Chain A
Amino acid sequence: MSTAAAQVHEEDHGHHHKETFITKYVFSQDHKMIAKQYLITGLFMGIIGIAMSLLFRLQLAWPEQPFGIFEVLLGKWAPDGVMDPNVYLALVTIHGTIMVFFVLTAGLSGTFSNLLIPLQIGARDMASGLLNMISFWLFFLSSVIMIASLFVEAGPAAAGWTIYPPLSALPQAQPGSGMGMTLWLVSMAIFIASSLLGSLNYIVTVLNLRTKGMTMTRLPLTIWAFFVTAIIGVVSFPVLLSAALLLIMDRSFGTSFFLSDIFIQGEVLHYQGGSPVLYEHLFWFLGHPEVYIVLLPALGITSEIIATNARKPIFGYRAMVASILAIAFLSTIVWGHHMFISGMNPFLGSVFTFTTLLIAIPSAVKAFNYITTLWKGNLQLNPAMLFSIGLVSTFITGGLTGIILGDSTLDINVHDTYFVVAHFHLVMGISALYGLFAGVYHWFPKMFGRMMNKNLGYVHFWVTAVAAYGVFFPMHFVGMAGLPRRYYTNTAFPYFDDLANINVVITVFALIAGAAQLVFLYNFIHSMFYGRKAEQNPWRSNTLEWTAPVEHMHGNWPGAIPHVHRWAYDYSKPGQEEDFVPQHIPLKEGEEELQH
């Protein structure tokens, strides 16, 4: 089936359409251009998201001190340069929303699924270029609306990125729950539509458009990760959409899905019979898989980069695929671990503890397989490789504390403290961000035909790596001291006075980490125009994208699509001259293909 579809496309490819500036750069249907559009929009959103985190870190380290920068950026929300508590909550909320959805979902998955799925499976383009284009522009629209929400009179949404009702449902509860929250919900609804269109496209493309010989068991692990991620997205994002729609109904049309028995601002509201716990279930049914929607593509990218740069086959290909599938399956039945103390039946807590801790098993398998892949390798420590190793490191450090949070008993006292903040930033935030950086350094030559500067890459990695641990390691202690997250300041409790110096240390490291990203930004923009011209296969990699010409062309390959004869990980195979054998090279006579 796959070959038939490919052939039809091949014939189609003969006559070129005339391309104008608009169809080539703006409303492009070419997956490579759409990937770049996703990346650049994602990076732009990333700058905003990271900048916000630096602003509220300043407030946490030097609470209620005036800062000129607050006056400049926050205006009337920082009277005399002192940040207002409502704005603090808004910054935390939008930082979370932007980083999770706009940077690490759309920016990461959108970029690399689009770029790599057709190129690595040997397809001319995505199954539907039109849907792909619509997917990007919906994402762009949702980004614009999210940013617009920063400028409304009463301020943007401020109920935390989980926007639990009733706080998010009642404009009386906080200023951010007015127009800002409406725009947040509209933006997210559009974002979900975009994500669904993209995911469906990825699934169909992987299933139908693989080139001859590209069986599922020969797929690079990147594609496995993107494919499974898309499936999780299709399964869980619609549930968030329904939660958002029901919340819109409660907010605007007087329904009571999530609200009951409320007295606020001297008034008894009419809502009867709803439950906020229902919203929590709906939210986390996406919210938890979302963690893996963010993380799996990063792990896929890492698998590919570690194998290529270790000049070794990825260890345990079958186990890696199995663990991706296991994580994906388990991720949909663990959402309750965010709700151990929400008031749901404690028996459910037991069930969710069980399923949650099970996830540690495939995760451990992945970590051990990465480490074994490094063993006796010939490691080419390119910036992409450093970020990949860094990912494994933060994935382990952050993942291990999950054993505490996933245990309903232990969660009681660390739930919603800074311990949680430290945990998820390391295991999904920093790890996925490293995956994004690794992907950009590795596939920059494929995207822009030029190389990024490696020394700047080294500076970027080492400063970021040290600073990231500097930020999040001490944060565990703040949490274990009992400090809740989303506190504007801890000065209301003399008991927490001795946390002040930890907060300063964390903020200083955060500022350093922020500055290190400027090095990346410079490298990225500068290399786009002035970087060294790339060779066709600079990393001496096996996957198909490196058989396509450096100059982008519609349809990816000038002639026929290469056929595939082996898996993607024949690195340093005995009996071969080179230390890599690309997938399109036929088996030598007498050469055995690895049984996997």
Chain B
Amino acid sequence: MTIALSLTILVLIGISVWQIAKIFELSQSKKENTQVANDNDNRYNGQLMFAFLLFIYGITLYSFWKWGDVLLPEAASEHGSEYDNLMWISFAIIFFVQTITQALLHYFSYKYHGKKGQKALFYADNDRLEAIWTIIPVITLAGLILYGLYTWTDIMSVEENEDALVVELYAQQFNWKARYAGDDGVLGDANVRFLQDFDGRNLVGIDATDPNGLDDVIVQELHLPVGREVIFKMRSQDVLHSAYMPFFRAQMNCVPGMITEFAFTPNKTTGDMRLDPDVVAKVKKINKIRAENSKALVANGEEALEPYVFDYLLLCNKICGASHYNMQMKIVVDTPEEFEKWMADQQTFAQVIQ
């Protein structure tokens, strides 16, 4: 039944478009039917061009007003504030250029719409103008490139150091695991060949003959201490995945057969972030939406949605198969004391395989 109905609707839409097209065609005067734009067409379309400029500005302002609050909150990592600065500078330049160029483009299209008897200006070249609008982008971009490269080098230079916490992020279809190095601070060797050892209890394929691996800790929820650099070593056991941690402005692909790296220092605990005014407002808005969705569910005899509480997230951001959209892990940023306490409760690899 639905099949027949939707087919009928499709056919009807098709017919109505065809009919509207037909009406437009018939409504044209037969007399002047060259299908080349005349003065009237130029005037109307010129005006529409101007209106379109207003539309572009309008949709920009409307989007910011209506959806400005969906943007990510302030970064929760040390390098993140630098990232956000660079982002806002780039955006300022983009909006400036966008506003001016679109204005010129559409205003000229309106202002100089064709009229019979009018002649265009023969203006084919001007080396000075060309030089100006080559040099201005060169200078602007040079600035952006230098600033960008400076920040990039800063973020990407991962240096091993005593104080840093080393964490392995381990990806597989369709979940994440994390491995801590344990008391010795060294991750044990690992390879997919060892995954089947110990009846599948060797979750990330640690080489049990490597003594460094025995005190490693494998978890399904990532805990990080605030204010301490974390060096991530990423692995994947099957296909490409990407460890995306948007709140920390951090991302790196996980590639089977190699170890990739990314490092950052979280600077806000989960508790602090939950008190951030932007996050509070966002959570409130989301819970309002969820409450409304729940009403419909309850009316259908289903369970209501649970209220949402903010948590940091790790998402998969490289297409990896059917459940790509649901490959996630919760990240909790603790105070150092909370972190130590949590860590003490975890089982080591040696305990797991016993």
- Interface residues, chain A, CB within 8 Å of chain B? 66-69, 71-72, 81, 84-86, 89, 159-160, 164-167, 170, 173-174, 259-264, 266, 268, 273-277, 310-319, 341-343, 346, 349-350, 353-354, 357-358, 360-361, 364-365, 367-372, 374-382, 385-386, 389, 392-393, 396-397, 400-401, 403-404, 407-410, 412-413, 415-417, 451-456, 458-459, 462, 465-466, 469-470, 473-474, 476-478, 480-482, 484, 486-490, 492-495, 497-500, 502, 515, 518-519, 522-523, 526, 531-532, 535, 538-539, 569, 571-574, 579, 594, 596
Contact = CB atoms under 8 A, between A and B. Distances in A.
Contact of A515 (B13, B52, B321): B13
A341 B101 contact: no
Contacts of A365: 130, 133-134, 137
B319 A379 contact: no
Contact of A498 (B52, B141, B289): B289
Given A357-B144, A494-B308, A452 B316 contact: no
A280 to B, nearest CB: 9
A500 to B, nearest CB: 7
Given A361-B138, A539-B36, A261 B256 contact: yes
Contact of A376 (B6, B112, B195, B324): B112
A385 B315 CA distance: 44
Contacts, number: 426
25 contacts: A81-B2, A263-B205, A311-B114, A312-B120, A370-B105, A374-B108, A376-B112, A380-B37, A381-B42, A407-B152, A410-B86, A410-B90, A413-B246, A413-B251, A416-B317, A456-B25, A469-B55, A469-B56, A482-B247, A484-B244, A489-B325, A493-B315, A498-B69, A498-B289, A532-B35
Contact of A276 (B13, B35, B255, B321): B255
B25 A316 contact: no
Contact of B325 (A349, A368, A487): A487
A71 B108 CA distance: 49
Contact of A495 (B25, B60, B156, B286): B286
Interface stretch (B16-24, B214-222, B334-342): B16-24
A341 B90 CA distance: 20
B104 A412 contact: no
Given A393-B102, A403-B93, A409-B152, A569 B124 contact: yes
Nearest to A460: B21
A173 B325 contact: no
Contacts of A67: 6
A579 B119 contact: yes
Closest 4 pairs between A and B when the two form their complex, measured CB to CB: A260-B257, A68-B6, A482-B246, A68-B2
B70 interface: yes
A350 B113 CA distance: 45
A413 B71 CA distance: 12
Nearest to B146: A354
Nearest to B142: A357
Nearest to B150: A409
Given A261-B256, A341-B252, A408-B152, A502 B3 contact: no
Given A376-B121, A376-B123, A499-B70, A159 B35 contact: no
B101 A277 contact: no
A412 B249 contact: yes
Interface residues of B, number: 135
A71 B155 CA distance: 49
Given A381-B109, A400-B94, 16 more contacts: A71-B6, A89-B322, A263-B237, A313-B123, A319-B130, A353-B148, A365-B130, A365-B133, A379-B114, A396-B98, A407-B86, A412-B249, A498-B289, A502-B70, A515-B17, A522-B17
Nearest to A455: B24
B296 interface: no
Interface stretch (B43-51, B178-186, B270-278, B345-353): B43-51
Nearest to A519: B21
B7 A72 contact: yes
B56 A393 contact: yes
Nearest to B156: A346
Contact of B67 (A259, A392, A477, A515): A477
Nearest to A476: B63
Interface string B94-119: 10011001101110110011110011
A486 B105 CA distance: 34
B256 A260 contact: yes
A532 B34 contact: yes
A409 B148 contact: yes
Contacts of A532: 33-35
B116 to A, nearest CB: 9
Contacts of B12: none
Contacts of B205: 263
A586 to B, nearest CB: 19
